[in-house]
């Protein structure tokens, strides 16, 4: 199987940094693409969501919530012990892995589409559900035990930012609009939000490659143990997500998406939240691991692996 072209764009971005090319994407394009991807994923999911019996989604939604809240509790001791990081850093990184990466989710959708495996688009709602719990648990890990005071910025602010931060807001907004207008109502928006999706994802991955390639220096400073964590964490958390998906009786597509979400680490919502909530954590470490190791691993190898396993284990 050849690589998804979308992944090749990521490598093209990394390569540009390694080759010290002057290639940069304008900030506005980066922002536009991330707004677009969130809306597009939401709209598509919403159309599907309106067709579903919402109650039937409850088990997987609840599982996803639990996964996001539990993963930091597993990651934290690993980061404290074997990796040997201070509390604040360990908690911050744990939060990143509890939360999720919407672009990794989009890549998984793309990989499933290429493989001809049905991917439930309504799982987009899981991205919104899994964004915040991991972050909250991460903050608790950093703060709760070290004297009991709350996060630097106050819980109210953080909760608000988690719910109304642009990522969750656009995703939920897209879901809602998609559900309200349905398949037929969406038709005039499809050329933009449907047909262009894969191309836009490719461009965004080019940008992610540029960003990730620029963090490789952070990685060197972070040391080999954090790099190892960045490679093993998606395997471990992906396996947990995979198991949860199988236990819920999902199809191969659903299992793959759940495994991918569990395996993915946030690099949009979590960095912003942790920067404000746990200022003493070094962002170079968490971003280096999430964006420099885990994200590339997932998009190049991980997602394909989860799909392969899901197909073996569901048939």
Partner 1 sequence: MEKHPRKLLVVITEAAIEKAVVQDARRLGAHGYTASAVRGGGLQGEREGAWEADRSVELKIVCGRDTAERIAEHLLAAYAPHYAMTVWLADVQVFRAEKF
Give CA–CA dist 41/175, Å, rounded.
Answer: 8
Please give the structure tokens belonging to residue 267.
């690099």
Report, in Å, the least distance between residue 131 CB and a second copy: 14
Residues for the chain: how many in total? 315
Choose the one of a second copy, partner 1, Na ion, none that binds residue 271, judging by a C-beta under 5 to 8 angstroms depending on kind: partner 1
* Of residues 142 and 202, the one with the C-beta less far from a second copy: 202
Pairwise CA distance, residues 56 & 298, whole Å? 29
Which residue, 287 or 305, has its beta carbon nearer to partner 1?
287
Residue 147 partner contact from Na ion, a second copy, partner 1, none using kind-dependent CB cut-offs of 5 to 8 Å: none
> Binding to partner 1 (CB under 8 A): which residues in 162-221?
207, 210-211, 214
In sequence order, the 6+-apart residues with CB closer than 8 A to the CB of 269 are 99, 131, 132, 135, 162, 165, 167, 168
Q: Does 135 bind partner 1 (CB under 8 A)?
A: no
- Beta carbon of residue 208, minimum distance to partner 1 (angstroms, whole number): 9
| Shortest Å, Cβ 268 to partner 1 | 6
Q: Are 264 and 125 in contact (CB under 8 A)?
A: no
Whole-angstrom CA distances from 76 to 82, 86, 295 are 10, 10, 19
Residues that bind a second copy (CB under 8 A): 2-5, 8-9, 12, 15-16, 19-29, 31-32, 35-36, 110, 113-114, 160-161, 164-166, 169-170, 173, 176-177, 180-182, 185-186, 188-193, 195-196, 198-200, 202-203
Site for partner 1 in 272-291 (CB under 8 A): 272, 275-276, 279-280, 283-284, 287
In the complex with a second copy, the residue whose CB is nearer, 113 or 248, is: 113
Kindly tell me which of 110 and 286 has the beta carbon lying closer to a second copy. Answer: 110
With b meaning 16 or more CB within 10 Å and e meaning fewer, what string describes 50-89? Answer: beeeeeebeebbebbbebbbbbbebbbebbbeebebebbb
């Amino acid at each position: 199987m050849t690589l998804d072209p979308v992944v090749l764009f990521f490598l093209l971005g990394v390569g540009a940094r390694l080759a010290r090319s002057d290639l940069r994407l304008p900030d506005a394009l980066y922002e536009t693409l991330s707004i677009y991807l969130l809306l597009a994923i939401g709209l598509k999911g919403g159309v599907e969501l309106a067709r579903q019996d919402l109650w039937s989604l409850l088990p997987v939604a609840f599982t996803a919530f639990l996964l996001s809240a539990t993963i930091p509790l597993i990651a934290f001791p690993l980061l404290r012990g074997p990796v040997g990081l201070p509390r604040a850093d360990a908690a911050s990184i744990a939060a990143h892995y509890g939360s999720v990466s919407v672009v990794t989710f989009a890549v998984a959708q793309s990989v499933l589409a290429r493989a001809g495996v049905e991917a439930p688009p309504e799982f987009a709602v899981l991205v919104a559900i899994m964004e915040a719990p991991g972050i909250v648990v991460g903050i608790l890990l950093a703060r709760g035990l070290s004297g009991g005071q709350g996060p630097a910025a106050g819980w109210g602010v953080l909760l608000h930012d988690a719910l109304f931060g642009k990522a969750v807001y656009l995703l939920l907004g897209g879901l809602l609009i998609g559900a309200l207008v349905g398949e037929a109502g969406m038709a005039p928006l499809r050329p933009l939000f449907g047909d262009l999706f894969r191309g836009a994802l490719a461009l965004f991955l080019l940008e992610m490659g540029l960003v990730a390639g620029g963090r490789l220096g952070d990685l060197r400073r972070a040391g080999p143990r954090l790099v190892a964590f960045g490679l093993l964490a998606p395997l471990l958390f992906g396996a947990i997500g995979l198991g949860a998906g199988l236990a819920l009786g999902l199809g191969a597509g659903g299992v793959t998406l759940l495994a991918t979400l569990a395996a993915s680490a946030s690099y949009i919502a979590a960095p912003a939240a942790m920067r404000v909530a746990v200022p003493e954590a070094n962002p170079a470490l968490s971003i280096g691991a999430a964006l420099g190791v885990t994200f590339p691993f997932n998009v190049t190898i991980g997602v394909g692996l989860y799909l392969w396993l899901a197909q073996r284990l569901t048939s």
